[in-house]
């Protein structure tokens, strides 16, 4: 008999549910970004600004789109992966979600004072910050 320990696969209803839930929420955030923001994107793209400014905005929007999609994919992968392999990915996803939360909240606070729900996007990432650690 071998002394090598064989890890039992995680139960699909066990501690993987937080990651699947987080992956679904991240996919929803991506969908909201892609299809639910024309009131922000269209005016900026059509604004009477210097062309480099408009194109920089376009680049940043696409980078954000890809990053949000990558978060959903990474969470779905981590939900299926072996825990040791998934941990660094989960740490990075958690960090990125924390950065989105903090930056939106800080800009909200700096620009609008106590009206921290003027840019409520920061609230979208809070469930990810809670769910990812629950997968332990």
- Positions in the chain whose pLDDT score sits under 50: 1, 5-8, 10-14
Nearest-angstrom CA–CA distance, 51 and 66:
23
pLDDT in the model for residue 13: 39
pTM for this model (two decimals): 0.84
Indicate the SS3 state at residue 81.
Answer: coil
Structure tokens at 2: 């071998």
pLDDT in the model for residue 37: 79
Tell me the torsion sign for CA atoms 115, 121, 123, 126: negative
Contact 75, 96 (CB under 8 A): no
pLDDT in the model for residue 93: 98
DSSP 7: P
Nearest-angstrom CA–CA distance, 77 and 101:
23
Burial of residue 98, with CB atoms counted within 10 A of its CB: 0-12 exposed, 13-18 middle, 19 or more buried: middle
Q: Write the pLDDT tens digit of every residue in 106-134.
A: 999 999 998 889 989 999 999 999 999 99
Contact 68, 29 (CB under 8 A): yes
């Amino acid at each position: 008999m071998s002394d090598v320990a064989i890890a039992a696969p995680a139960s699909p209803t066990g501690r993987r549910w937080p990651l699947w839930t987080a992956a679904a929420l991240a996919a929803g955030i991506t969908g909201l970004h892609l299809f639910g923001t024309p009131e922000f994107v269209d005016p900026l793209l059509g604004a009477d600004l210097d062309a480099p400014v408009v194109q920089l905005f376009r680049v940043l929007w696409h980078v954000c789109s890809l990053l949000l999609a990558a978060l959903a994919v990474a969470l779905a992968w981590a939900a299926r992966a072996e825990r040791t392999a998934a941990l660094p990915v989960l740490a990075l996803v958690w960090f990125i979600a924390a950065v989105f939360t903090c930056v939106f909240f800080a800009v909200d606070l700096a620009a609008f004072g106590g009206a921290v729900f003027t840019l409520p996007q920061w609230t979208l990432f809070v469930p990810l910050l809670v769910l990812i650690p629950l997968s332990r």
